[in-house]
């Protein structure tokens, strides 16, 4: 049962071939088998999962079944879960048990979804490899010596290893799409504001967005249907009707124009990535789409712009972790300032400290205009680049990441090289547009390669249609890593 997709398991639950409890027990067994190797989970909520499955079975018996009723799911550990530890993979939040559910978690529970546990991540979502977690390093199920991507590496690894049916991640600069590419699964960052951020522990508030990580495109549409929509508890939530994303599961791109930005095919990109992405574009071209080279001229400034804006927002957001209200407090402090300093020094890991210091610097007196204001202006230019590009094409096609998954430890001593892992995903967050990563091939070493499909604001349906068309004409999504 652990190999099934959401829609396959739903069919079996609806036909009463299996129960939600049987499915949940099968997944919990699978976690015990494979998680000691991949370490995708920080917390496994076995007791709560069985209780949730039993409740789902009661609903099904009463004829109240939705597409997610009884489906075992994983949640990234930066989304609040009532009564269940939420750490953001940081010592400073170790032992923090939220008194409420994030809106997305509540919506999944309302649909009858079963929570298996909380997935590992880079601390406070700051990283591209899930090596920055305070508690453990997650490994890629395709090759245990390589990274699963980040920061939602635990969620992506769990989906790829069949240690959950689907998962939620969050994406600030590529943190859903890049791990989805590394692990050979589907990951979507919706339009900024399409999904409520209420209960998502903030990193970069103008960039963060929650999204689905799934085994195929149909599951992505199903999960998106459940979690998208206006939320009055989130001031940035878009108050517009939500379409039925499942209706976009159409195998047709005839007459579409695919924009391929020349700036994304750069020197230094792995030639195998370029080859597989080129082959994927040719598949879509063979299905009736037209390929057009487009320009996104400010792409070269995206990484610098992103690492000014996101660190500035992180510096502001993470000021609340001071040892006073909740979370870790340094035990030996005698004075208030000493307690603040020691709590934050001990509680935050090196990457989080680096970003807080960068952010504090760019917001400091005399530097605000030179850095943060200038970055905000460049961000507007990047957004305008996308708007002009979409006047010429229906969707934009790029690689998701410049290389397949790299080896554990390979980039830990070189933060700049690590930051460049997100070079193809960052612009999407700065512009606020939706994008999806779908597996499009494998490297010579057998590691997955991802294709990124980018759409206009609020045009997730178009992305889903393009991805579904590609998926139904290839078999990359059917391949699974060989874990015993």
For residue 98, is it within any domain? yes
- Threshold 0.95, pTM exceeds: yes
Report the candidate in 94, 98, 104, 103 with the shortest Cα–Cα distance to residue 81. Answer: 98
Prior bond to 151 cis, omega within 30?
yes
For residue 484, is it within any domain? no
> Domain of 34: which CATH number?
3.90.1300.10
Whether 175 is catalytic: yes
Cβ atoms of 89 and 137 within 8 Å: the answer is no
Report the candidate in 316, 385, 326 with the shortest Cα–Cα distance to residue 356. Answer: 316
CA–CA dist 307, 302 (Å, integer): 9
The catalytic position among 76, 118, 189, 456 is 76
Q: Give whole-number Cα distances, 125 to 19, 118, 284, 482, in Å.
A: 35, 14, 33, 28
Q: Give whole-number Cα distances, 187 to 235, 274, 404, in Å.
A: 25, 20, 16
471 Cβ neighbours under 8 A, 6+ residues apart:
216, 217, 438, 477
CA–CA dist 467, 434 (Å, integer): 13
For residue 428, is it within any domain? yes
In sequence order, what are the beta bridge partners of 257? 290
Cβ atoms of 482 and 164 within 8 Å: the answer is no
What's the pLDDT at 484? 56
The catalytic position among 90, 128, 151, 196 is 151
Whether 76 is catalytic: yes
CA–CA dist 286, 331 (Å, integer): 65
The catalytic position among 128, 152, 170, 175 is 175
Domain hosting residue 189, numbered range:
1-479
For residue 311, is it within any domain? yes
For the chain, what is the domain count? 1
For each of the chain's 484 residues, which pLDDT tens digit applies? 999 999 999 999 999 999 999 999 999 999 999 999 999 999 999 999 999 999 999 999 999 999 999 999 999 999 999 999 999 999 999 999 999 999 999 999 999 999 999 999 999 999 999 999 999 999 999 999 999 999 999 999 999 999 999 999 999 999 999 999 999 999 999 999 999 999 999 999 999 999 999 999 999 999 999 999 999 999 999 999 999 999 999 999 999 999 999 999 877 789 999 999 999 999 999 999 999 999 999 999 999 999 999 999 999 999 999 999 889 999 988 899 999 999 999 999 999 999 999 999 999 988 999 999 999 999 999 999 999 999 999 999 999 999 999 999 999 988 888 988 899 999 999 999 999 999 999 999 999 999 999 999 999 999 999 999 999 999 999 999 998 5
In sequence order, what are the beta bridge partners of 148? none
For residue 227, is it within any domain? yes
What's the pLDDT at 420? 86
CA dihedral (376, 126, 41, 149) positive or negative: positive
CA–CA dist 276, 196 (Å, integer): 35
For residue 341, is it within any domain? yes
């Amino acid at each position: 049962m652990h190999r099934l997709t959401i829609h396959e398991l739903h069919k079996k639950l609806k036909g009463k071939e299996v129960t939600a409890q049987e499915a949940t027990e099968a997944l919990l067994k699978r976690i015990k088998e494979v998680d000691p190797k991949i370490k995708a989970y920080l917390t496994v909520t076995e007791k709560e999962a069985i209780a949730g499955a039993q409740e789902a079975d009661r609903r099904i018996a009463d004829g109240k079944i939705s597409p997610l009723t009884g489906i075992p799911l994983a949640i990234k550990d930066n989304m609040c879960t009532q009564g269940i530890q939420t750490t953001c993979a940081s010592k400073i939040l170790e032992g923090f048990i939220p008194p409420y559910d994030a809106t997305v978690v509540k919506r999944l529970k309302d649909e009858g979804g079963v929570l298996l546990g909380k997935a590992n991540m880079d601390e406070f979502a700051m990283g591209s490899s899930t090596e920055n977690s305070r508690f453990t390093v997650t490994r890629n199920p395709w090759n245990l010596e390589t990274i699963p991507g980040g920061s939602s590496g635990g969620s992506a690894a769990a989906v790829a290893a069949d240690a959950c049916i689907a998962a939620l991640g969050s994406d600030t600069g590529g943190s859903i799409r890049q791990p989805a590419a590394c692990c050979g699964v589907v990951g979507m960052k919706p339009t900024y504001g399409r999904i409520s951020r209420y209960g998502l522990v903030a990193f970069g508030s103008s960039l963060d967005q929650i999204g689905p990580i799934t085994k195929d495109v149909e599951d992505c549409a199903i999960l998106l249907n459940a979690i998208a929509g206006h939320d009055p508890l989130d001031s940035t939530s878009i108050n517009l009707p939500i379409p039925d994303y499942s209706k976009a599961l159409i195998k047709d791109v005839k007459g579409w124009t695919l924009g391929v930005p020349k700036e994304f095919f750069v020197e230094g990109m792995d030639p195998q990535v370029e080859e597989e992405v080129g082959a994927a574009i040719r598949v879509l071209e063979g299905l009736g789409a037209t390929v057009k080279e487009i320009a996104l001229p400010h792409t070269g400034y995206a990484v610098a712009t992103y690492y000014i804006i996101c660190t500035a927002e992180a510096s502001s957001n993470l000021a609340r972790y001071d040892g006073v209200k909740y979370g870790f407090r340094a035990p030996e402090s005698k004075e208030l300032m000493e307690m603040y300093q020691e709590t934050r020094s001990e509680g935050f890991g090196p990457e989080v400290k680096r970003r807080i210091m960068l952010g504090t610097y760019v917001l400091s007196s005399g530097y605000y205009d030179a850095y943060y204001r200038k970055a905000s202006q460049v961000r507007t230019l990047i957004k305008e680049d996308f708007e002009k590009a979409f006047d010429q094409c229906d969707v934009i096609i790029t690689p998701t990441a410049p290389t397949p998954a790299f080896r554990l430890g390979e980039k830990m001593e070189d933060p700049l090289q690590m930051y460049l892992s997100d070079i193809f995903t960052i612009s999407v967050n700065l512009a606020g547009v939706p994008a999806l990563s779908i597996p499009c091939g494998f490297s010579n070493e057998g590691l997955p390669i991802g294709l990124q499909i980018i759409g206009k604001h609020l045009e997730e349906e178009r992305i889903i249609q393009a991805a579904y068309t590609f998926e139904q004409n290839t078999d990359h999504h059917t391949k699974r890593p060989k874990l015993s």
